Amino acid sequence: MMGKIKINGKEFKFNEGETIYTVAKRNNIFIPVLCYHSQLRITGSCGICVVEVKINGKSELLNSCSEFAKEGMEVFTDSERVLEKRKDIIKSLILNHPVYCSLCDKNGICLLQDYTLLYGEKLEEYKYEREIKEYKIEPFIKFYPDLCIFCERCNRFWNEELNEGEIILIDKEKKDVRLLKDKDILKGFLNYLIDICPTGAFSENISQIYAKPWDLERIDTYCTFCSLFCEIRLYIKKKTKTRAYEGGRKFLPDRIFDIKYQNKGLIDSVICDNAKFGRDFISNDKILKRAKIEGKWKEIDMDEIVLNLKNKLKKYISEETGIILSLNMGNEEIDSLKDFFVNEKRVKNFLIVPGFFDTSFNLMKTNFKIEDIEDNTFILHTGYDFFNSHPVIGFEILRRLRKFKKVNLFSLSYEKGKIQREANDFLLIDNNTFKILKVLFKKLYKEFGVKKEIEEEFLNSFLFLRKIENLNEDNILKELNFEKGRFSKIVKSIINSKKLVVIYQDFIPFEIQKLCYSFKYIKFPVKILILRMWQNTEYFLNKKFPIIDIYEFKRKVENGMIKFVMIFNVNPFLFIKDEEFLKNIFEKCEIFVFDSFNGTHADLSNNVVPLKTFYEKEVKVMDNFCNIKEIKKVFESERIYLPEIISRLKEKESEEINFEEKVEIDLEIFSR
């Protein structure tokens, strides 16, 4: 059903259920808003969107954000009554709001500031006597209750989108607001409190007052902090803004000032706190700026680095060479590693940190899409709380849980928190508790059988399938103190569901991963979501590198079979807990480190090559769902791009010619 209303003398069509504000905005007619947000519940609490409405001969002031358009309405957005009302509203807000705009991060991008200048008096006329309070929320953001205007956007976002209730307590009568300190605050989306607030009530711990929007240049790219590679807008100083260094030399900026969601609206396209607050990695004190050659730190010299590495590779045969790596690199870098070290040098000792993967890891791939969660879906989660480990995918799963009522979530988790609050059934686990997965697998295996088109290499890599018939369900449930009726209810829910979605992280014990992945081979619709530790794992798996686990690597080092170890993009001291293994590696082997950041591994190694970070190169990546994305170069850097080194290593050395010997031979021939 459609109708017509007049706004400022012009006639416009509206659809049933549309508000006056929606119709005006669609037709580019400006109406100010503070509490309103298109994706949040309408409260009409601020009143700044007031308009004058005439209908049936009566005229009254109404909030345009909450008043539905009706046939025959005549609306005035800037009448004398409207402007006077807005002026009163602004005055009421500013009287309880400290005017220290020049020191506020939102200066220049604050709605209250804009509307005060548009509808209110001069800012200097407002006085604020009280001391300004400040509260820290986690390490990243601050809350200034005196800057709050009671719009409740933060509470509505926290409740409606995150299902977490309120984050601040508001008493409008006393003009008082305070942080709910005793609340278990959900980590992962604190950055939204900053962006959703129309004033500076929430702001970063690190002030951004020296980086205003008009000084910044936007680059649309992808976040590189996890395997999801979310779309982001990255902001750096404009290239016209340079910084002077000693000697009059100038450099382009090398700092990311802000990161925001890329696409539609504030909530349509989400980013997590890792993306927002981890952006300063590029200016981290630990970033490598020099190379280390035979124990001496030097300026970066590609020729010297390549010559040194060539000598090492000549010294050791392929069986004596081991490679320890993370998958924090682009497709092109993975390709170059495979082409040179596997195809050409025949290296077969690849260890992925944290080190417990074997060759069956190459077969374990995600086949899940977020659309797979629909009505009558059962989700089996094992591992850590994915709302913490991968907040964005957790956010999307939460939306599906709230959209579809017939979705069951059973979580076997190492930690309490958001996952416990959202799960239909929850079990806090240790390694022993995983026995319940075996019993669950047995039940489904007995019910449906196993598919014939299975990868034999994968199924032969663990023993439990061969022993599944011998599992005593009653004894295991009794041992775990898990009620049989409760277990039967879970099994029944899975059997009666439309599909089973299995979610786990690839940094839980590897045998448990293989157990979780085995559900894929049951004759039942099963989708697998493996949340990755390293960014580009999916692409790496497609290349099928010769992977060995930490136990095999350790054995070869101890027996003197591996003598030369190259470490790529990881500090193993941060991820490998086996101290004896680390000690043996650095005492018995010659080490060559390729990394962007300093650490214990670089300190102990005689040779270190500083590599470019993600935003210092233009590379492609494959996300957790096997989509190819392209990361844009943001900064120039003297650090080295890995494929350039490998390309130089592949160059054949020209044969040296002894010219004196050549001349003698020629003369001898000539004399004959």
Digit-coded pLDDT (tens) for 575-602: 999 999 999 999 999 999 999 999 999 9
* Amino acid at the residue 597: F
Give one word for 56, left, alpha or beta, with left for phi > 0 and alpha for psi -120 to 50: left
- Average pLDDT along the chain: 87
DSSP 42: -
Share of the chain above pLDDT 70, in %: 88
Do residues 480 and 436 make contact, with C-beta atoms less than 8 angstroms apart?
yes
Q: What is the largest CA-CA distance in the chain?
A: 125
Do residues 141 and 205 make contact, with C-beta atoms less than 8 angstroms apart?
yes
**Residues of the chain by 3-state class (helix, strand, coil), percent to 5:** 40, 20, 40
pLDDT over 50 (residue 37): yes
User: What confidence tier does 670 reach under pLDDT thresholds 50, 70, 90?
Assistant: very low
Digit-coded pLDDT (tens) for 354-389: 999 888 898 899 999 999 999 999 999 999 999 999
DSSP 395: H
Cα dist from 276 to 194, 229, 279, 623, whole Å: 11, 13, 6, 19
- The alpha-helical segments, DSSP class H, found in 7-55 are 20-26
Residue 423, C-beta contacts closer than 8 angstroms, at least 6 positions apart: 381, 409, 410, 411
In angstroms, the CA 342 to CA 323 distance is 11
Q: Angle at Cα 391 formed by Cα 150 and Cα 513, nearest 5°? A: 160
Residue 597, C-beta contacts closer than 8 angstroms, at least 6 positions apart: 284, 286, 287, 288, 571
Do residues 577 and 604 make contact, with C-beta atoms less than 8 angstroms apart?
no
Digit-coded pLDDT (tens) for 42-94: 998 899 999 999 988 889 999 999 999 999 999 999 999 999 999 999 988 88
- The alpha-helical segments, DSSP class H, found in 225-343 are 273-277, 302-315, 331-337
- What are 169's strand-pairing partners? 178
Radius of gyration for the alpha carbons in the chain, expressed in angstroms and rounded: 31
Do residues 63 and 45 make contact, with C-beta atoms less than 8 angstroms apart?
no
- The alpha-helical segments, DSSP class H, found in 423-536 are 435-448, 456-459, 464-467, 473-479, 484-495, 510-517
Residue 29, pLDDT score: 97
* Amino acid at the residue 75: V
Q: Looking at residues 244-265, what average pLDDT do you find? A: 63
Digit-coded pLDDT (tens) for 303-350: 999 999 999 999 999 999 999 999 999 999 999 999 999 999 999 999
Cα dist from 502 to 69, 499, 518, whole Å: 47, 10, 10
Digit-coded pLDDT (tens) for 104-147: 888 888 899 899 888 876 655 556 566 778 888 878 889 998 89
Per-residue DSSP letters for 436-449? HHHHHHHHHHHHH-
98 prior amide bond cis, ω within 30: no
Residue 73, C-beta contacts closer than 8 angstroms, at least 6 positions apart: 5, 6, 20, 53, 54, 55
Q: Looking at residues 409-414, what average pLDDT do you find? A: 96
Q: Which two tokens stand for residue 550?
A: 């930490």
Do residues 444 and 494 make contact, with C-beta atoms less than 8 angstroms apart?
yes
Q: Which two tokens stand for residue 474?
A: 């009653």
Residue 13, pLDDT score: 94
Residue 671, pLDDT score: 43
pLDDT over 70 (residue 607): yes
Q: Which of 2-6, 167-171, 216-220 is the least confident region?
A: 167-171
Q: Looking at residues 4-22, what average pLDDT do you find? A: 94
- What are 380's strand-pairing partners? 410, 502
Q: Which of 430-439, 462-471, 479-488 has the highest mean pLDDT?
A: 479-488
In angstroms, the CA 374 to CA 88 distance is 49
Residue 136, pLDDT score: 85
* Listed residue (57, 53, 94, 55) closest to 76, CA to CA: 53
pLDDT over 50 (residue 656): no
Residue 301, C-beta contacts closer than 8 angstroms, at least 6 positions apart: 291
Residue 267, pLDDT score: 52
- The alpha-helical segments, DSSP class H, found in 567-632 are 572-575, 579-588, 600-604
pLDDT over 60 (residue 655): no
Digit-coded pLDDT (tens) for 267-297: 556 789 988 988 888 778 899 999 999 999 9
Residue 38, pLDDT score: 85
Digit-coded pLDDT (tens) for 499-517: 999 999 999 999 899 889 9
Task: Report the relative pairing of strands 231-237 and 619-622 from DSSP bridges.
Answer: unpaired
In angstroms, the CA 616 to CA 300 distance is 16
* Listed residue (392, 360, 631, 401) closest to 506, CA to CA: 360
User: What confidence tier does 450 reach under pLDDT thresholds 50, 70, 90?
Assistant: confident
145 prior amide bond cis, ω within 30: no
Q: Looking at residues 159-169, what average pLDDT do you find? A: 89
pLDDT over 60 (residue 457): no
Global confidence as pTM: 0.87
Say which residue the tokens 């994305």 belong to. Answer: 629
In angstroms, the CA 37 to CA 154 distance is 11
Residue 658, pLDDT score: 46
User: What confidence tier does 262 reach under pLDDT thresholds 50, 70, 90?
Assistant: confident
Q: Looking at residues 395-420, what average pLDDT do you find? A: 93
For the chain, the distance separating the N- and C-terminal CA atoms, rounded to the nearest angstrom, is: 109
Residue 67, C-beta contacts closer than 8 angstroms, at least 6 positions apart: 19, 20, 53
Do residues 450 and 464 make contact, with C-beta atoms less than 8 angstroms apart?
no
